[in-house]
Amino acid sequence: MSGVCKLKFTDFKSDQGVRWCAGCGDHAILNSVQKAMAELEYCKDDVAVISGIGCSSRFPYYMDTYGFHTLHGRGAAVASGVKLANTDLHVWDITGDGDALAIGGNHFIHLIRRNIDINVILFNNKIYGLTKGQYSPTSKRGFISKTSPYGTIESPFRPGELCIGARGQFFARTVDKELKLSVEVFKESAKHKGTSIVEVLQNCVIFNDKVHAEITDKEYKEDRTIVLRHGEKMIFGKERNKGLMLDGMTLKAVTIGENGITEDDILVHDEKTDDISLHLKLADMEYPNYPVALGVIRNVESKAYDYCMEKQIREIKEKSSIKSLKDLLYSGDVWEVK
Amino acid sequence: MGKRSKVIEKDEVVVRFSGDSGDGMQLTGTLFSYTSAIFGNDISTFPDYPSEIRAPQGTIGGVSGFQVHFGHSEVYTPGDYADVLVAMNPAALKANSKWMKPGGTIIIDVDSFDEKNLRKAGYKTDDPITEDKLGDFNIIKAPITALTKESLKDMGLDNKSILRSKNMFALGLVYWLFNRPLDNTKEYITKKFKKKPIVVEANLKVLEEGYNYGSIIQALTPSYQISPADIEKGFYRNINGNTATAWGFIAASEKSGLELFLGSYPITPATDIMQELSARKDLGVKVFQAEDEIAGITSTIGASFAGDLAITSTSGPGLALKGEAIGLAVIAELPIVIVDVQRGGPSTGLPTKTEQSDLMQALYGRNGESPVVVVAASTPTNCFDYAFYASKIAVEHMTPVILLTDGFLGNGTQPWKLPDMDEFPKIDVPMVDRNMKDWEPYLRDPEKLSRYWAIPGTPGFAHRIGGLEKDYKTGAVSHDPLNHQKMTDVRQAKVDKIADYIPELELIGEEDADLLIIGWGGTFGHLYTAYEEMTNEGYNVALLHFNYINPLPKNAFDILSKFDKKVVCELNMGQFVGYLRMKFEGMSFTQYNKVQGLPFTVNELKEHFKKLLEE
């Protein structure tokens, strides 16, 4: 069983110098994760931080926990093995939009589908940073980069849509510099039994600076994002006068008090419903038609793979007459030469 | 039962069952093997089936075969040529008649030799016996389909189920031919179909009919008598190489006290290892059916990082996909075993056929200087031992180990004297120790040069590893040029050191032999039989067979240098001989190679060796 420790968030910092660029959004995410782990009362030795390759994947080196910086795209698969070898560990998988959604796309969707109890933090800066500026699978259509000098001609993935499409039971979104929200969301994701995906809108100060600025800048963020909380009305805006409602099958951003709309018309967020339809709509909302959803969008109770695996082994062990290799060797068609 | 017209006493016999891939020939062959093994013969079997589950019916591509070699003395191969062939249709006859011993017996289901099936099999005339010049064989034209139908007509079975019982008729007839009891097979059928009494009844009835048919036609047909072999006392079971491999890992798990994890993706001919381990939840085995070969090995690396005995199984194309990840295990210095059940290549190649053409891939198929241990099993039953020792080396030396078997070993069976597990050594797990002073993630055992295993969850040993080059001492990321040289050297030295921990080679034969036959892995049975037969014929030859490829056993050079004339035999274009030439510069070797997806035949080996001796 994993223990309970009362540590400060600084206890989770390793002695390695952090080598991300000054102003990189990763610094803030590192702080939020350390803070979340301290608040979750984790013991450092029970934590395994696994990553793939990319700027974000340097993360384990900066954590004073067990850590494994693996191969490009394969963090999710390595993390699966770690968790199944020792289900008591807190396993966190740190990845980016290239690592998780391009080279590691297959592992990403299958991890989610299996629902192994791993917390994935997906740093989404819509660019390849470590290789210095190529477009990524989340870059918007027409995006100009070193490998798309005339603009991309492909549609981006929306991580939330992909997660829910892969039968994801937990999806949340936060912004690198929103420390308080990030800590809250990371803690929720850790408590969820099964795979949880947290997309962090992260700023790459060198190769894609201000990619999220139009929604995350202080002056706009309240009007252009909505923080969803379970059981609360979906209200947003500086004046707290905007909200989300359903018009038939369509989700609509509306202003309370206009066109006869009252607060009663505004939806209440239910992160726990199994039905994916509204969660999908919320996860897919993009500016300028909608505010971008932050917070926990989907958080449905479900059976984790690791739990089911152990349960199955336990049950079969109990029933079987084969208790050792010797029993196995002598089972079935064995004959004696005298 | 009446007196037999003619009984042929033989020391050994090869029987080949063949039919459409839906005809149940694998089961028929397996049941016959069991009966022979229990009767006391030594046996060796090999299934030969098409890669399509249901290739077009009646065509040569759809022929599925099962060969069993059994004898009064020890047998080491499934045999080159068959004494008895069962051909359930013209395609089976066409595909197999060239693999018959002169004067052998061919049983055909004459009912299936109609115009349509003859054409599908590529016969131009309506007389395949003459067309294939099979006049000198003893042909039993049995109306198997008609008699099966007749036998079951009142049982209320549908036509499909009736036809599915044909194989039992053939089996009954072969049992008659070899004077074998039906008891074991009856017991098996009764157990297997216990929920369907009508199927049990039908199969048993047809089995008896087949046997009785033999007695009726006995005046025309000779039968065979093969006495039991003189076999060491003990408990035995039949086992194929893939199951033996799976069980070897379970043994290693018990001897190390580590939980067993297999991360794998189904691939022919390795899938049976995964299937067997999936069924072993009763022994706590964790099997993770990954989304692809890469996740198969990377989940395995994760499980190893977290302290399991971690295995991945695959075949050639899968090994190619795992290459990058093996490099990660090399640099992270984590123990894993990668089993490659080799098949014909390149690319998808010949998935169901056997070859030894992944040796170079196993040794060198990665980026950078990334030495791994390579071990090869050489018989279906010693797959158990090498799976065990591959695990032992991996864990004790903190290194990835590639275990090479092949389709021939994986699917081939032998009777196996059940091992006494007390005779297997303990596996010492180099876990970090609370009292360890000045521990660093890459602190090394001074003897073995391997690092220690600090698994997540162990208080006080939190550390970070990864695929970037590590500082020699601290394990922190280092781009220092001299450190990289030092780490490259120590990773190589660690693998080289393993030579101190593996058994030396044993020469079979005399040091003054005129020819040294050299082999590795799955060709042992054929090479040994060739050696034995030639020795009995008065030739002075010796055999040196390798199971440890990297590192090579320490006495390899000494033994090899005693012989002038050497021939390295392998089922590839010369990968092991190339490796030996590189390791022992200036030493001369000749080579004998075959790349047909088939094992060697003893005959072709002997012919070649005799030619070499004349030179």
Lowest mean pLDDT among A96-105, A225-234, B216-225, B413-422: B216-225
Touching B: A residues 27-46, CB under 8 Å = 43-46
Task: Tell me the shortest Cα–Cα distance from A109 to chain B, in angstroms.
Answer: 10
Looking at residue A89, what is its pLDDT? 98
Place of tokens 């060709």: B523
Q: Which residues in chain A are contacts of B464 at CB distance < 8 A?
A: 14, 16, 60-61, 63, 66-69
> What digits encode the pLDDT tens for the residues B29-52?
999 999 999 888 999 998 887 766
Quick check: A45 and B459 CB within 8 A? yes
| Contact of B342 with B405, CB cutoff 8 Å | yes
What CATH number labels B515-614?
3.40.50.920
Using CA coordinates, name the residue in chain A closest to B306. Answer: A82
Q: What is the pTM of this model?
A: 0.94
Which of A211-220's residues contact partners 24+ apart within 8 Å by CB, and which partners? Answer: A211/A125, A211/A126, A211/A127, A212/A175, A214/A287, A215/A287, A215/A291, A215/A292, A216/A175, A216/A177, A216/A178
Quick check: B306 and A110 CB within 8 A? no
Kind of pairing, strands A250-255 and A242-247? antiparallel
Rounded CA-CA distance B229/B252 in Å is: 32
A150 in contact with B at a CB cutoff of 8 Å? no
Rounded CA-CA distance B250/B269 in Å is: 20
Quick check: A334 and B477 CB within 8 A? no
Hey, what's the torsion of the CAs at A315, A321, A326, A329, to 10 degrees?
-100
Domain boundaries, chain B: 7-225, 240-423, 515-614
Q: Which two tokens stand for residue A98?
A: 């290239």
List residues bridging with B313 in a β-sheet: B339
Q: Which residues in chain A are contacts of B328 at CB distance < 8 A?
A: 70-71
Quick check: A14 and B295 CB within 8 A? no
> What digits encode the pLDDT tens for the residues B262-278?
999 999 999 999 999 99
| Contact of B363 with B546, CB cutoff 8 Å | no
| Contact of B574 with B594, CB cutoff 8 Å | no
What would the mean pLDDT of B213-228 be, rounded to a whole number? 79
So what's the ipTM on this one?
Answer: 0.98
Quick check: A81 and B263 CB within 8 A? yes
Place of tokens 């018989």: B379
Q: Which residues in chain B are contacts of A329 at CB distance < 8 A?
A: 237, 247, 418-419
Where residue B2 falls among pLDDT bands split at 50, 70, 90? very low
Pick the CATH number of B7-225 from 3.40.50.280, 3.40.920.10, 1.20.140.150, 3.30.750.24: 3.40.920.10
Quick check: B261 and A85 CB within 8 A? yes
> What digits encode the pLDDT tens for the residues B509-542?
999 999 999 999 999 999 999 999 999 999 999 9
Place of tokens 């074991």: B184
Quick check: A78 and B305 CB within 8 A? yes
| Contact of B306 with A82, CB cutoff 8 Å | yes
Look at chain B and count its residues: 615
Q: Which residues in chain B are contacts of A336 at CB distance < 8 A?
A: 234-236
Query: Which residues neighbour A101 within 8 Å (Cβ) at sequence distance 6 or greater?
Result: A108, A122, A136, A137, A138, A157, A159, A162
List Cα–Cα distances, B287 to A117, A311, B162, B275, in angstroms: 17, 14, 38, 9
Touching B: A residues 215-234, CB under 8 Å = none
Residues of chain A where predicted confidence (pLDDT) is lower than 70: 1
Instruction: Give the angle B536-B539-B542 at the CA atoms, nearest 5°.
Output: 95
A61 in contact with B at a CB cutoff of 8 Å? yes
Quick check: B298 and A68 CB within 8 A? no
Q: Which two tokens stand for residue B391?
A: 């695990």
Quick check: B457 and A110 CB within 8 A? no
Instruction: Give the angle B59-B62-B65 at the CA atoms, nearest 5°.
Output: 120
What would the mean pLDDT of B428-442 be, rounded to a whole number? 93
Domain limits for position A48: 9-211
- Residue by residue, DSSP assigns B17-41 as EEEETTS-HHHHHHHHHHHHHHHT-
A66: nearest CB among B288, B421, B463: B463
- Residue by residue, DSSP assigns B209-257 as HHHHHHHHHGGG--EEE-PPP---SEEEEEEEHHHHHHHHHHHHHHHHT
Place of tokens 């996860």: A283
Looking at residue A40, what is its pLDDT? 98
* pLDDT of B4 above 60: no
| Contact of B162 with B206, CB cutoff 8 Å | no
Residue A224 resides in a domain: no
Q: Which residues in chain B are contacts of A45 at CB distance < 8 A?
A: 456-462
Looking up residue A53, the CATH number of its domain turns out to be 3.40.50.970
Q: How many CA atoms lie within 13 A of A250 on its CB side?
A: 6
List Cα–Cα distances, B46 to B4, B412, B526, in angstroms: 30, 4, 13
Looking at residue B62, what is its pLDDT? 87
Mean pLDDT of chain A: 97
Task: Tell me the shortest Cα–Cα distance from B161 to chain A, in angstroms.
Answer: 27
Q: Which residues in chain A are contacts of B261 at CB distance < 8 A?
A: 81, 84-85
| Contact of B69 with B75, CB cutoff 8 Å | yes
Using CA coordinates, name the residue in chain A closest to B294. Answer: A74
Task: Tell me the shortest Cα–Cα distance from A125 to chain B, in angstroms.
Answer: 24
Q: Which residues in chain B are contacts of A314 at CB distance < 8 A?
A: none
Q: Which two tokens stand for residue B608?
A: 């070649």
Looking at residue B52, what is its pLDDT? 65
Pick the CATH number of B240-423 from 3.40.50.970, 3.40.190.150, 3.40.50.300, 3.40.190.10: 3.40.50.970
Using CA coordinates, name the residue in chain A closest to B324. Answer: A71
Kind of pairing, strands B400-406 and B234-240? unpaired
Q: Which residues in chain B are contacts of A71 at CB distance < 8 A?
A: 298, 324-325, 328, 467
Lowest mean pLDDT among B71-80, B222-231, B468-477, B490-499: B222-231
| Contact of A185 with A9, CB cutoff 8 Å | no
* pLDDT of B350 above 60: yes
One-letter amino acid of B179: N
Number of domains making up chain A: 1
Rounded CA-CA distance A277/A292 in Å is: 17
A69: nearest CB among B231, B455, B467: B467
On the question of a common fold for B240-423 and B515-614, the answer reads yes
Query: How many A-B residue pairs are in contact by the CB < 8 A criterion?
Result: 201
Looking at residue A115, what is its pLDDT? 98
Q: Which residues in chain B are contacts of A313 at CB distance < 8 A?
A: 281, 284, 286
B464: nearest CB among A69, A83, A86: A69
Cβ burial, residue B102 (10 Å; 0-12/13-18/19+): exposed
Residue A194 resides in a domain: yes
Touching B: A residues 87-126, CB under 8 Å = 88-89, 106-107, 110
Quick check: A317 and B284 CB within 8 A? yes
Task: Tell me the shortest Cα–Cα distance from A153 to chain B, in angstroms.
Answer: 29
Query: Which residues neighbour B594 within 8 Å (Cβ) at sequence distance 6 or greater?
Result: B571, B600, B604
Number of neighbouring beta carbons within 10 Å of residue B485: 10
3-class SS at B435?
A: coil
A48: nearest CB among B280, B304, B306: B306
